[in-house]
Structure 1
């Protein structure tokens, strides 16, 4: 799904690359199948996309979805996409189109492609209960095989590398990812003194305060496989089954709540009701009272990454700026303040700990509507 109000530049790939089925693509299609045709399908800011129709010897119609980009960057993009989608499909095939393969064109080794099963989809949001419960089930199934956070293959969100170094703790990984995200966003939009000050507060105070308690005091996080870019533009409804389909993953093993970040912004069609429903199927991590602020922290990363995609469009930077300010002002003492609060509890001093009401999740999020 694309939105011209955000980005209206031409696709940086000639349309001719999807005017035929290259021999390298044909090699990934069963040799007994007859290729009926290829036609443009779907939309993308960065790729040419097409549907390849084939027919089996017994007359069954089997279609494939093709994405094409050019340059060495494209090789890396599709390597990451294939690894991400395969990892997700292996644990949740009912939710993820089956990846077929990736490679470069035989006719032009500068042209790279990703091929997967084709699903005819409608542009609509999925049923709240069905979708949220399936995402929770995906997280239950997708336990990291070695207990580590991160992902062994670099992935790309649009034109931006998403590097998730294999890490022992979630705080370690998220700190690394946020540092890179801040750097890339600043390269895109330029330096800003206020943003630099807020960055310091997020990195030095907020992240330790909100993430370290997840893995201390006898608590342990299980790394779970997440899609990590699960806004409504990467979700569709299968026309034939009426079931939700997810695509364009940037997979990693993470804190499962990280998945919920794109469900926070009011500009997204998959929003608060999905978080509320998800929490019925996958319990909030402890400390539960930090849930909403953790969700806001994860959303800041999502909004900074959005800003990094669109030079000169400061909409997402300004949203992230106010979200950052909210957390920096709330947690000036960082993790040390949390430890002091825990010590006060142990000494018997009365503490006020708010109950979590999922229906009020995101109540403090700025209501920034699409431009």
Structure 2
């Protein structure tokens, strides 16, 4: 690697020791610092509309590493190019996963155990669903503003996903017609009992497989579940609140989030290097909603 081809901000991040696909490009950088060779993985985002991915990757990987440090990427830093704020980068310690990966039959139990640990150990500091920075599902930004309501959280992200599908594949009138019925009848029927009724682990048990299908969001499953729950909540828990289908599916003008990252000084030109304060993994509180119990049961 010719270091002259690297942006100054990336080099500064590596040399500062801050333990570093087509919307992004990944590469390995080997750095010799005081006689010690270090290897970093760097992801470069060169499209202006996707630069938020760098911060999201850093915060997300840091949160995961705080919960399962032995099975997580070790994030180092993120920032913008020194001379172009329209480009960003994320840096992590380099790991050769191909050389370390066990056979598939050994890998699956490890992955299941990792999922269980994540959902058992992670705690929301607010007792709500959400995250303090916008996260991404591929190039698609997710709506992760804080809310007490799992149904609301799921529905607004479901609608956001539908709009993304429409942008990529064009209009599907049938899908959008059944989607609104799906939100009103099926989502409320399967998700609201988790929020409003004191159910035990993975209960109502008879709904478990249907909740798995709900999260999968396949068009065929949407149709099947609509046929199974044509009346929504009408004959379930009469005291539950009306459907939230009419709630807004876009974030508020001023979303709730943590303070922005701080600029730090270190060796070299450290322009654009951000090191936000450490934060725990945020998504759900096991004491509030049994969605966590579903995830744990699926991993057993």
Normalised TM-score (structure 1): 0.58
Aligned residues: 235
Give runs of aligned pairs for residues 71-86 of structure 1, distance below 5 A. Answer: 71-86=47-62
Once the two structures are TM-superposed, the CA of residue 339 in structure 1 deviates from its matched residue by 2.6
User: Does 2:90 match 1:110?
Assistant: no
Q: How far apart, in 2, do the equivalents of 1:17 and 1:162 lie?
A: 36
Instruction: Show structure 1 runs of 5+ residues with no match.
Output: 1-15, 34-43, 221-283, 301-319, 341-360, 362-371
Once the two structures are TM-superposed, the CA of residue 218 in structure 1 deviates from its matched residue by 2.3
Give runs of aligned pairs for residues 1-371 of structure 1, distance below 5 A. Answer: 20-31=5-16, 44-57=21-34, 59=36, 61-122=37-98, 125=104, 127-219=107-199, 284-300=201-217, 320-339=218-237
| Structure-2 change in CA distance of 1:92 and 1:18 (3 Å) | farther
Q: What are the superposed Cα offsets for residues 274-301 of structure 1, whole Å, 9 maximum, x if unpaired?
A: xxxxxxxxxx52212211111111111x
CA contact (8 A) 1:75 1:103 kept: no
Please give the secondary structure, in 2, of the residue aligned with 1:167.
coil
Q: What are the superposed Cα offsets for residues 62-103 of structure 1, whole Å, 9 maximum, x if unpaired?
A: 211001122332321112121211111122211111111111
CA contact (8 A) 1:17 1:48 kept: no
Q: How far apart, in 1, do the equivalents of 2:235 and 2:220 lie?
A: 22
CA contact (8 A) 1:18 1:48 kept: no
CA contact (8 A) 1:18 1:50 kept: no
| Structure-2 change in CA distance of 1:140 and 1:19 (3 Å) | farther
| Structure-2 change in CA distance of 1:289 and 1:63 (3 Å) | same
Q: How far apart, in 1, do the equivalents of 2:25 and 2:88 lie?
A: 11
| Structure-2 change in CA distance of 1:17 and 1:339 (3 Å) | farther
**CA RMSD across the alignment:** 2.8
Instruction: Show structure 2 runs of 5+ residues with no match.
Output: 239-297
Q: How far apart, in 2, do the equivalents of 1:211 and 1:86 lie?
A: 29
Normalised TM-score (structure 2): 0.71
Q: How far apart, in 2, do the equivalents of 1:150 and 1:98 lie?
A: 22
